[in-house]
Amino acid sequence: MNKQSLWFITLFSLILVLSVYYITMPSEILVSNNGDFTNTNKLQAQAKVEESDILVALRVAKEEQVMSQREDLESVLTSVEATVDEKNNAYEQLKALTLNQGTEEKLESKISEKFGKNCYVKIDNNQIRVVVASEEHSKELANEIMRSIQEEFTDKMYISVKFQS
Protein backbone atom coordinates (compact mmCIF):
# COMPACT_ATOMS: atom_id res chain seq x y z
CA MET A 1 0.00 0.00 0.00
CA ASN A 2 1.54 3.30 -1.04
CA LYS A 3 1.44 6.67 0.73
CA GLN A 4 -1.24 8.14 -1.52
CA SER A 5 -3.63 5.24 -0.91
CA LEU A 6 -3.02 5.43 2.82
CA TRP A 7 -3.76 9.18 2.88
CA PHE A 8 -6.89 8.69 0.78
CA ILE A 9 -8.21 5.94 3.05
CA THR A 10 -7.39 8.03 6.15
CA LEU A 11 -9.17 11.12 4.84
CA PHE A 12 -12.13 9.09 3.56
CA SER A 13 -12.46 7.42 6.97
CA LEU A 14 -12.36 10.80 8.69
CA ILE A 15 -15.07 12.17 6.40
CA LEU A 16 -17.19 9.08 6.96
CA VAL A 17 -16.87 9.34 10.76
CA LEU A 18 -17.74 13.04 10.70
CA SER A 19 -20.74 12.35 8.45
CA VAL A 20 -22.04 9.67 10.80
CA TYR A 21 -21.49 12.00 13.75
CA TYR A 22 -23.39 14.81 12.03
CA ILE A 23 -26.28 12.51 11.14
CA THR A 24 -26.59 11.12 14.65
CA MET A 25 -26.47 14.52 16.38
CA PRO A 26 -29.60 15.42 18.34
CA SER A 27 -31.97 17.55 16.29
CA GLU A 28 -31.96 20.32 18.93
CA ILE A 29 -28.36 21.16 18.07
CA LEU A 30 -29.25 21.62 14.39
CA VAL A 31 -31.94 24.20 15.19
CA SER A 32 -30.90 27.69 16.30
CA ASN A 33 -30.39 28.21 20.02
CA ASN A 34 -33.40 30.46 20.59
CA GLY A 35 -34.63 28.26 23.42
CA ASP A 36 -38.04 27.64 21.86
CA PHE A 37 -37.96 24.20 20.30
CA THR A 38 -41.43 23.48 19.02
CA ASN A 39 -42.46 20.08 17.78
CA THR A 40 -42.54 21.32 14.19
CA ASN A 41 -38.95 22.56 14.45
CA LYS A 42 -37.87 19.19 15.80
CA LEU A 43 -39.70 17.33 13.04
CA GLN A 44 -38.25 19.60 10.36
CA ALA A 45 -34.73 19.14 11.70
CA GLN A 46 -35.18 15.37 11.80
CA ALA A 47 -36.51 15.38 8.23
CA LYS A 48 -33.46 17.30 7.04
CA VAL A 49 -31.16 14.80 8.76
CA GLU A 50 -32.98 11.91 7.11
CA GLU A 51 -32.75 13.60 3.70
CA SER A 52 -29.02 14.04 4.01
CA ASP A 53 -28.80 10.49 5.36
CA ILE A 54 -30.13 9.10 2.08
CA LEU A 55 -27.76 11.20 0.01
CA VAL A 56 -24.79 10.38 2.24
CA ALA A 57 -25.52 6.66 1.94
CA LEU A 58 -25.66 6.93 -1.85
CA ARG A 59 -22.42 8.91 -1.95
CA VAL A 60 -20.60 6.49 0.35
CA ALA A 61 -21.67 3.53 -1.80
CA LYS A 62 -20.51 5.36 -4.93
CA GLU A 63 -17.17 6.28 -3.33
CA GLU A 64 -16.55 2.67 -2.32
CA GLN A 65 -17.29 1.50 -5.85
CA VAL A 66 -15.04 4.16 -7.39
CA MET A 67 -12.24 3.41 -4.92
CA SER A 68 -12.43 -0.30 -5.78
CA GLN A 69 -12.34 0.40 -9.52
CA ARG A 70 -9.46 2.85 -9.04
CA GLU A 71 -7.44 0.29 -7.05
CA ASP A 72 -8.00 -2.36 -9.73
CA LEU A 73 -6.90 0.00 -12.49
CA GLU A 74 -3.88 1.22 -10.53
CA SER A 75 -2.81 -2.37 -9.89
CA VAL A 76 -2.89 -2.98 -13.66
CA LEU A 77 -0.81 0.17 -14.22
CA THR A 78 1.83 -0.90 -11.71
CA SER A 79 1.83 -4.55 -12.73
CA VAL A 80 5.01 -5.91 -14.27
CA GLU A 81 3.14 -8.63 -16.18
CA ALA A 82 0.65 -6.24 -17.84
CA THR A 83 1.18 -5.43 -21.50
CA VAL A 84 1.45 -1.90 -22.86
CA ASP A 85 -2.06 -2.16 -24.32
CA GLU A 86 -3.49 -3.27 -20.97
CA LYS A 87 -1.74 -0.39 -19.21
CA ASN A 88 -2.96 2.13 -21.79
CA ASN A 89 -6.49 0.80 -21.47
CA ALA A 90 -6.31 0.99 -17.67
CA TYR A 91 -4.98 4.56 -17.88
CA GLU A 92 -7.79 5.62 -20.21
CA GLN A 93 -10.38 4.03 -17.91
CA LEU A 94 -8.83 5.77 -14.90
CA LYS A 95 -8.91 9.08 -16.75
CA ALA A 96 -12.57 8.53 -17.73
CA LEU A 97 -13.42 7.62 -14.12
CA THR A 98 -11.89 10.85 -12.84
CA LEU A 99 -13.62 12.90 -15.54
CA ASN A 100 -16.93 11.20 -14.70
CA GLN A 101 -16.53 12.09 -11.01
CA GLY A 102 -15.85 15.71 -11.87
CA THR A 103 -18.93 15.89 -14.09
CA GLU A 104 -21.12 14.37 -11.37
CA GLU A 105 -19.88 16.93 -8.83
CA LYS A 106 -20.39 19.76 -11.31
CA LEU A 107 -23.98 18.68 -11.96
CA GLU A 108 -24.71 18.34 -8.23
CA SER A 109 -23.46 21.86 -7.58
CA LYS A 110 -25.39 23.23 -10.58
CA ILE A 111 -28.66 21.73 -9.31
CA SER A 112 -27.93 22.96 -5.81
CA GLU A 113 -27.24 26.51 -7.01
CA LYS A 114 -30.02 26.73 -9.58
CA PHE A 115 -32.83 24.98 -7.70
CA GLY A 116 -31.68 25.13 -4.07
CA LYS A 117 -32.00 21.35 -3.66
CA ASN A 118 -29.54 18.82 -2.30
CA CYS A 119 -29.06 15.99 -4.74
CA TYR A 120 -27.04 12.95 -5.76
CA VAL A 121 -25.97 12.41 -9.38
CA LYS A 122 -24.74 9.12 -10.85
CA ILE A 123 -23.52 8.94 -14.45
CA ASP A 124 -23.27 5.57 -16.18
CA ASN A 125 -22.36 5.93 -19.88
CA ASN A 126 -25.30 7.87 -21.36
CA GLN A 127 -27.62 7.36 -18.39
CA ILE A 128 -27.81 9.92 -15.60
CA ARG A 129 -29.63 9.17 -12.37
CA VAL A 130 -30.54 12.09 -10.11
CA VAL A 131 -31.92 11.70 -6.59
CA VAL A 132 -33.25 14.96 -5.14
CA ALA A 133 -33.86 15.34 -1.41
CA SER A 134 -37.08 17.33 -1.46
CA GLU A 135 -40.57 17.35 -0.01
CA GLU A 136 -41.81 18.79 -3.29
CA HIS A 137 -42.45 16.14 -5.97
CA SER A 138 -43.36 18.11 -9.07
CA LYS A 139 -43.07 17.13 -12.71
CA GLU A 140 -42.17 20.70 -13.60
CA LEU A 141 -39.15 20.68 -11.28
CA ALA A 142 -38.05 17.29 -12.61
CA ASN A 143 -38.32 18.57 -16.20
CA GLU A 144 -36.33 21.70 -15.37
CA ILE A 145 -33.62 19.60 -13.71
CA MET A 146 -33.48 17.29 -16.76
CA ARG A 147 -33.21 20.26 -19.15
CA SER A 148 -30.45 21.90 -17.12
CA ILE A 149 -28.48 18.64 -17.06
CA GLN A 150 -28.94 17.99 -20.79
CA GLU A 151 -27.53 21.49 -21.50
CA GLU A 152 -24.16 20.24 -20.28
CA PHE A 153 -23.95 17.48 -22.91
CA THR A 154 -23.88 17.49 -26.70
CA ASP A 155 -25.12 13.89 -27.00
CA LYS A 156 -28.59 12.77 -25.98
CA MET A 157 -28.54 11.57 -22.36
CA TYR A 158 -31.17 9.44 -20.65
CA ILE A 159 -31.89 11.33 -17.43
CA SER A 160 -34.09 10.11 -14.59
CA VAL A 161 -35.04 12.23 -11.59
CA LYS A 162 -36.27 10.68 -8.36
CA PHE A 163 -37.48 12.63 -5.34
CA GLN A 164 -36.78 11.40 -1.81
CA SER A 165 -38.60 12.99 1.08
Q: Which fold has domain 39-164?
A: Helix Hairpins (1.10.287)
Poorest-confidence range of 8-12, 90-94, 110-114, 148-152? Answer: 8-12
For range 102-119, the mean pLDDT: 91
pLDDT at 37 (0 to 100): 46
What is the mean pLDDT of the segment spanning 80-102?
90
Query: Minimum mean pLDDT among 9-13, 71-75, 85-89: which range?
Result: 9-13
DSSP for 75-144 reads HHHH-SS--HHHHHHHHHHHHHHHHHHHHHHHHHHHHHHHH--EEEEEEETTEEEEEEE-S---HHHHHH
Question: Taking Cα atoms as reference points, which of 17, 16, 15, 49 lies closest to residue 30?
Answer: 49
Given a cut of 70, whether residue 29 has pLDDT beyond it is no
The pLDDT, as a whole number, for residue 52 is: 60
**Better-scored residue on pLDDT, 95 or 40:** 95
pLDDT score of 122 more than 90: yes
Span of 5-14, 112-121, 152-161 with lowest mean pLDDT: 5-14
- 51: confidence class by pLDDT, cuts 50, 70, 90: very low
Q: How far apart are CA 55 and CA 121, in angstroms?
A: 10
Start-to-end CA distance of the chain, whole Å, equals 41
Lowest mean pLDDT among 44-48, 103-107, 147-151, 160-164: 44-48
